[in-house]
Structure 1
Amino acid sequence: MLRDLARGAAAVMAFVSMAVGSPSVQAQVAGIDPQATQLLRRMTDYLAGLKRFSVDSDSTLEVVLKTGEKLQFDTAAKATVRRPDRLRAERGGEIVDQVFLYDGASLTLYSLDAKRFAVAPAPATLDAALDYARDRLDIVAPASDLLATNAFDRLTQGLLGAIVVGPSVVGGVKTTHLAFRGPEVDFQVWVQDGDKPLPRKYVITTRQVQGMPEFASSFSNWKLDPEVPDSLFVFAPPKEARRIEFLGTGSGIASTTK
């Protein structure tokens, strides 16, 4: 799974040498701190136990040019989940303007700016549908790394290092900052303190790509029992929208239906 984190728009980032100038962090760099993995498991188990929720996110994707220059692209998203088989994710920004829908039987991706959409049959559970979207259609839904019911096992596969960086504040919310090192990518998570261990920030660094680009998301406006009618996950194409086919590569939708 840590290898999978490097995918999806080059979903991406490194450790920035594991914390600059902090003696308390430098003392913990080596090995796996069980306190870090325990808090990560607490967070992923809590998310997996939520039957329905919605969350807003603001993400920044970093791209490294051949010259070494870095560009950043921002995206705002809103995801609504109803387990075990519903997801609606809307995201818009400089490089994407899409709606992603899963209704328990099919996946739909609609590009608002291009007014095109594609539909594909999908497995019967959200976990399997997200895997299918990533592996067969080359589509990564917002925050999909954290949505799986077995997210902990996926995130810690091949884990090489884990540390508790320390207390932090994200968007005015008290959190605990965790950092993890994998074979190819590293990730950091800021977990909300208290009885609702929600992720408040998530950063991925791809070490295997020159310049070690990063992908970062901040989460806000968590709603843990929202109204989520079936209609929320049903796609009604606008009159001017045109259906095309998934190619399974690149942006995910590209080929015109004959």
Structure 2
Amino acid sequence: MTRRRHLGNTTVLRRWAGSIAVLAAFAGGTARAAPEEADSAQKSGVSPKARSMLEKMSDFLGGQRQFSVQVDGSTEVVLQSGEKVEFNHESEVRLKRPDKLRSDRRGEKAEMEFYYDGRSFTLYGENNHYYATARAPANIDEAIDAARERLGIEAPAADLLYSKPYDILMEDVVSGTYLGTAFVRGATCHHLAFRGNETDWQIWIDDGPKPVPCKFVITSKKVEGTPEFTAEFSRWNFSPRLGDEVFHFSPPSNAKRIDFLVEAGGQGTKGDKK
């Protein structure tokens, strides 16, 4: 069974505009990729430098036993008229391997908290004070898969939370290019671009001693209007104080428990969280 869940299924993306070489020509400065490298990448698949940088980020993130990070995201939605509108949100993500994960999201469409404590999932809506709980697998990788397959809980940036992000990110990739360096929130980053059968995506990786992702953009080629999902990462902390109580949901006195709505066959229909 394919384990990559989010890059090929998210609907928050835009179409890749033009070839890698054309994009690089307009980038200017250090962000410009050499034409011969772009041409080589198209012919040979993934350029060695793009592969190496992604592996470096993956090894670093997967090797962290715990961390917290701020995620500022935007989700494009294409209306029936063809007009695109954008909804912004911010999330605080806390992870403790092998079996703890929490995400607190604030945004225009919803204010939600997601808890995974190694035994169960809980999704809590702060606006309506409803929460739902379901049994969960015993590690983060399987939990991310199960949350989508069973409960319909989507999270495009969750690909970066797996123990081996490289394997998940690369499953649908047919080509990849190193575009050079660029600045994201004042940090010098390596800019990589990848093309897949279902999605195209870009990632900016910090050039410092900690090769963390600084920005992540996913573009869907299977959705009309090709909307885009964007996430920027900041305030990385690799030694946070994360007791088990952080990942355990204790319902407020005014909270009401409801069930996840699940279709026959186990596919979730409600509880979407990005």
Please give the TM-score of this superposition, normalised by the length of structure 1: 0.92
Equivalent in 146, 152, 169 of residue 160 of structure 2: 146
Match of 2:14 in 1: 13
Question: What is the DSSP-based 3-state SS (H/G/I as helix, E as strand, rest coil) of the residue aligned with 2:13?
Answer: coil
Query: Contact between 2:4 and 2:159, CA under 8 Å: does it hold in 1?
Result: no
Q: Relative to structure 1, is the Cα distance of residues 182 and 2 closer, same or farther in structure 2, using a 3 angstrom cutoff?
A: farther
In structure 1, the partner of 2:271 is 252
2:57: which partner in 1?
A: 43
1:234 aligns with 2:248: yes
Q: TM-score by structure 2 length? A: 0.87
The answer for the alignment partner of 2:223 in structure 1 is 209
Aligned to 2:69: 55
Task: Measure the CA separation in 1 of the matches of 2:69 and 2:229.
Answer: 18
Change (3 A) 1:5 1:158: closer
User: How far apart, CA to CA, are the structure 1 residues paired with 2:202 and 2:136?
Assistant: 31
Asked if the contact 1:79–1:142 (Cα under 8 Å) also holds between the matched residues in 2, the reply is: no
Letter of the 2:144 partner, please give it: L
Judged with a 3 Å threshold, the aligned counterparts in structure 2 of structure 1 residues 187 and 142 are, in CA distance, closer, same or farther, namely closer
| 2:56–2:211 Cα contact (<8 Å) kept | yes
**SS where residue 227 of structure 1 aligns?**
coil
- Tell me which residue corresponds to 1:256: none
> Does the residue aligned with 1:144 lie in a helix, a strand or coil?
helix
**Contact 1:3-1:184 within 8 A present in 2 as well:** no
1:4 to 3, 6, 12: 6
Distance 1:121 1:225, change over 3 A: same
Cα distance change on mapping 1:237 and 1:115 into 2, 3 Å: same
Q: Deviations over 1:127-151 (max 9, x none)?
A: 1111100111110247311000122
CA distance in 2, matches of 1:90, 1:38: 32
8 A Cα contact 2:119 2:138, kept in partner: yes
Q: Over residues 186-238 of structure 1, what are the superposed CA-to-partner deviations in whole Å (9 max), with x where a residue is unaligned?
A: 11000000221000000000011122110000000000110001110111101
Letter in 2 for 1:210: E
Identity, % of aligned positions: 40
Q: Shift in Å at residue 2 of structure 1?
A: 5.9
1:75-129 Cα shifts (integer Å, max 9, x gaps)? 1100000000001100011112100000010000001011000000100001111
CA RMSD of aligned residues (A): 1.7
The question of whether the paired residues in 2 share the 8 Å contact of 1:32 and 1:162 is answered with yes
Partner Cα distance (2:23, 2:56) in 1? 29
> In structure 2, do the counterparts of structure 1 residues 86 and 3 end up closer, same or farther at CA, with 3 Å as the change threshold?
closer
Verify the 8 A CA contact 1:14 1:204 in the aligned structure 2.
Answer: no
Which residue identity does 2:9 align to in structure 1? R
Q: Distance in 1 between matches of 2:84 and 2:4?
A: 23
Q: 1:129 aligns with which of 136, 143, 157?
A: 143
Query: Aligned with 1:133: secondary structure?
Result: helix
Q: Could you tell me which residue of structure 2 aligns to residue 181 of structure 1? A: 195
Structure 2 gaps of 5+ residues are 26-31, 263-267
Q: Distance in 2 between matches of 1:151 and 1:14?
A: 23
Separation in structure 2 between the aligned mates of residue 89 and residue 32 of structure 1, nearest angstrom: 32
Q: Alignment partner of 2:242: what SS?
A: coil
Shift of 1:21: 4.9
Aligned to 2:265: none
Mapped partners of 2:104, 2:74: distance in 1? 16
Q: 2:232 aligns with which of 186, 208, 218?
A: 218
Greater CA deviation, 244-253 or 74-83? 244-253
The one-letter amino acid paired with 2:120 is S
